[in-house]
Amino acid sequence: MPNDFLSFFLSWMSSPRRVGAIAPSGAALADLITREISTTTGPILELGPGTGAFTYKLLKRGVRPQDLTLIEYGSDFMKLLQMRFPGSRVLWMDAGRLATEHLYDGAPVGAVVSGLPLLNMSRRKVISILSGAFSYVRPGGAFYQFTYGMSCPVPRPVLDRLGLRAKLVDRALLNVPPAAVYRLTRRPQMKLIAGSLAPEPSAQVALEPTHPARDDSAAR
């Protein structure tokens, strides 16, 4: 993994809210956020890959380049990613528009790995991103998000509205600054069986229609 500190720092200088960190994530965080992903996970959607700190780790874990779709809104990062990961699909787009693009046939994605600075975004935008991403996630798939904050960066009312639950995977205390990774999954749907409620684990939660949000985090 090349040393990307300077190019990352310059990008942060030009667009601090969009980039959301002064340096790329370190090895400990890349290890943690990709920990539950393996060769069998299938297609993976990475949001906000930046210079590719998590992408390199995904490939090291045996994910096939052609199974990776990278969504990056910074044009400088996007060009770098296209050079570094020629076998993967690199798209220059706002993750808030996932629902309006036809990225996959159906919902084959096994995992979403997100480095997006959700805490810098409006609630409306976070809803657009999550509902768009989950529209491509297969039953049982997960959305991994890191944060420098003390709790899950997706507020409880948003999780409730989208029928999701969040669980702390672990903390990467060696990252600078220390970070935490959360796993977001669909809540099991409940169905009535002989008068009692029973979970229906394979059911897909119907998400509300999304409205592509005005991009208020990436002023360019």
Ligand X SMILES: C[S@@+](CC[C@H](N)C(=O)[O-])C[C@H]1O[C@@H](n2cnc3c(N)ncnc32)[C@H](O)[C@@H]1O
Binding site for ligand X (CB under 6 A): 18-21, 24-25, 47-50, 53-54, 71-74, 77, 94-96, 115-117, 217-218
- Residue 152: how many CB atoms within 10 A of its CB? 20
The answer to whether 47 and 113 are in contact (CB under 8 A) is: yes
Q: How far is CA 189 from the centre of its chain?
A: 23
What's 124's DSSP letter? H
Q: At what angle do helices 75-84 and 5-14 cross, to 10 degrees?
A: 150
Nearer to ligand X among residue 95 and residue 130 (C-beta): 95
Q: How far is the CB of 4 from ligand X (least distance, A)?
A: 8
Helix (H, G, I), strand (E, B) or coil at 146: strand
Least Å from the CB of residue 191 to ligand X:
36
User: Is the Cβ of residue 67 or residue 72 nearer to ligand X in the bound state?
Assistant: 72
C-beta of 20 vs 141, nearer to ligand X: 20
Two tokens, residue 217: 């985090």
Element (H, E) at 218: none
Q: H or E stretch including 156?
A: helix 156-162
* Nearest distance from C-beta of residue 165 to ligand X, angstroms: 23
Kindly state the helix (H) or strand (E) to which residue 211 belongs, with its residue range.
Answer: none
Residue 202 identity (one-letter amino acid): S
Q: Which is nearer to ligand X, 78 or 207 (CB)?
A: 78
Nearer to ligand X, 116 or 162 (CB): 116
The encoded tokens of residue 117 equal 């600075």
**Nearest distance from C-beta of residue 52 to ligand X, angstroms:** 7
Q: What count of other Cβ atoms lies within 10 Å of the Cβ of residue 210?
A: 20
CB of 94 to ligand X, least distance (A): 4
Of 92 and 104, nearer to ligand X (C-beta) is: 92
Looking at residue 98, the DSSP 8-state letter turns out to be G
Beta carbon of residue 64, minimum distance to ligand X (angstroms, whole number): 20
Q: What is the DSSP letter of 209?
A: P
